Amino acid sequence: MRLKEKEALFDARDPRLRDDPYPLYQKLRDAEPVHRTPYGLWIVSGHSEVASLIRSPRLSSEYPQDPRWAEQRGGWDSPIVESTRRWMLMRDGGGHRRLRGLANPLFTTRAIQELAPRIEGIVHEIMDEMGSGRDVDLIGSLAARVPVTVFCGLGGLPVEDADLCRKWTDALGHVIDPSIDEATRRLMNDAAQEFGDYVAEHLAVRRAAPRDDLLSRLLLAEFDGEKLTDDEIIANVLMFFMGGHETTVNLIGNGMLGLLRHPDQLRALREDPGLIQNGIDELARYDAPIQLVARITTGDVEVGDTTIPAGSKVMILLGAANRDPRRYPDPDRLDLSRRDVHPLSFGGGPHYCIGAMLAKAEARLVFTELAGRYRDIRLTDEDVVWRPQVNIRGLSELRVDLVS
């Protein structure tokens, strides 16, 4: 392929990616599922290629070790960079294994099943408040309220503080933006400091009087004879809020839009609510809340018949892999009864999303309730507005008529 053609193959700044990235992914995947851009960045978009690459031990997620990354966010000693250096998401190897091993028991299928009644109570309360009516924004009145409120409730933090925690969480979310201006840097650092102090206060209370909540469980957690330090607990609680908020909002928002655009599927769900049990994976596959993750290779990595050399920057397109026809026949069709769906939307390998069970439990409840409570749900406006980020895919609003 000539250089000029290659240049046109994929550009992360292409504005068309925002409204509908899938035709562009298809073009890229068909041409080169493992693609090196003319400026040296690697982009991997085929299903089998993404699935094997993401499990490779020769990948690093330790962005905070990169002096430029840290500098852009306020420097090595800034509250946000100090916090991210302790996030399991941004650690490799043994450091990652230790944090992950200590936190894993909190998020297993069984642990989430035990928490289900509490999750259900919170979701029902938010939906009761939303009620029915015309021109309701499902993002603002529902999707954006569920994950943080649930996490406060399970974590042992007052649910009355959910709006405050959401404000901090939104600010922290900018940490993965590709470029950051001065105002955002300040916002993020203030949030890391204030949210960190807030969690520290509650942690001290739990240490004196443990209860049945996630903060108390993190204090008691032991793995290989080791425990978490307070700084590690505080940093990873911030990470749980950050990692679980916008992603779950978008699973609910993108999923609901998918259902509204496939009325036969919404009808099927209404007739058989049990469809959501596996259908949630299809919704996550169809329009992934996280479209891509980034890595640096620490050694040469074989992907298919291509070798990505050590020291390369790699963009792993989860959203493109989920729509690969070599893995999912007729991939652009949403089908809640599709079999054998294991979406890459929650990543894979050592960093596979620790909160996947929790997010799916929350979203299942929301979809079941939406389909069951309302006789009809209609899009108020066919033209929806997507948020500008390419790595995180979600709607700024989803306006619907809710007819009960």
Task: Out of 171, 176, 269, 293, point to the residue binding ligand HEM (CB under 6 A).
Answer: 293
**Residue appearing with tokens 């980020």:** 389
Q: Locate all alpha helices (DSSP H) within 209-325, ordered by sequence.
A: 214-220, 230-261, 263-271, 276-286, 318-321
Q: Does 265 bind ligand HEM (CB under 6 A)?
A: no
- Least distance (Å) between residue 293 CB and ligand HEM: 4
Cβ neighbours of 13 (radius 10 Å): 7
- Least distance (Å) between residue 208 CB and ligand HEM: 25
Binding to ligand HEM (CB under 6 A) within 235-254 occurs at 239-240, 243-244, 247-248, 251
Identity of the amino acid at 123: V
Task: Out of 17, 43, 44, 88, point to the residue binding ligand HEM (CB under 6 A).
Answer: 88
Q: Are 303 and 59 in contact (CB under 8 A)?
A: no
Q: Are 248 and 147 in contact (CB under 8 A)?
A: yes
Output 6 or 22, the one with its CB closest to ligand HEM.
Answer: 22
Binding to ligand HEM (CB under 6 A) within 348-387 occurs at 351, 353-355, 358-359
Output 150 or 187, the one with its CB closest to ligand HEM.
Answer: 150
Q: Does 395 bind ligand HEM (CB under 6 A)?
A: no
For residue 53, what are its two tokens? Answer: 């690459």
Q: CA distances (Å), 282 to each of 29, 107, 336, in order? A: 20, 21, 6
Q: Does 345 bind ligand HEM (CB under 6 A)?
A: yes
Q: Does 319 bind ligand HEM (CB under 6 A)?
A: no
- Least distance (Å) between residue 294 CB and ligand HEM: 8
Task: Out of 153, 289, 319, 331, point to the residue binding ligand HEM (CB under 6 A).
Answer: 289
Cβ neighbours of 247 (radius 10 Å): 24
Output 90 or 191, the one with its CB closest to ligand HEM.
Answer: 90
Q: Are 45 and 28 in contact (CB under 8 A)?
A: yes
Output 6 or 98, the one with its CB closest to ligand HEM.
Answer: 98
Q: How many whole angstroms separate alpha carbon 206 and alpha carbon 85?
A: 24
Binding to ligand HEM (CB under 6 A) within 34-63 occurs at 61
Binding part of the chain for ligand HEM, among 67-75, 113-121, 155-163, 344-352 by CB under 6 A, reads 344-352
Q: How many whole angstroms separate alpha carbon 305 and alpha carbon 357?
A: 34
Please give the residue whose beta carbon sits closest to ligand HEM in the complex: 355
Longest dimension (CA), the chain: 67
For residue 65, what are its two tokens? Answer: 């070790």
Binding part of the chain for ligand HEM, among 13-21, 42-50, 177-185, 286-294 by CB under 6 A, reads 286-294
Q: Where are the extended beta strands (E) located within 4-132?
A: 34-36, 42-44, 59-60
Q: Does 283 bind ligand HEM (CB under 6 A)?
A: no
Output 5 or 246, the one with its CB closest to ligand HEM.
Answer: 246
Output 23 or 93, the one with its CB closest to ligand HEM.
Answer: 93
**Residue appearing with tokens 């399991």:** 88
Task: Out of 46, 79, 347, 394, point to the residue binding ligand HEM (CB under 6 A).
Answer: 347
Output 366 or 377, the one with its CB closest to ligand HEM.
Answer: 366
Three-class secondary structure of residue 316 per DSSP: strand
Output 173 or 289, the one with its CB closest to ligand HEM.
Answer: 289
Count Cα neighbours of 42 within 13 Å in the Cβ-side half-sphere.
26
Query: If we measure between CA atoms, which residue out of 55, 195, 132, 196 comes closest to residue 376?
Result: 132
Output 220 or 403, the one with its CB closest to ligand HEM.
Answer: 220
Q: Are 162 and 148 in contact (CB under 8 A)?
A: yes
Which residues form the interface with ligand HEM (CB under 6 A)?
Answer: 61, 88-89, 100, 239-240, 243-244, 247-248, 251, 289-290, 293, 345-347, 351, 353-355, 358-359
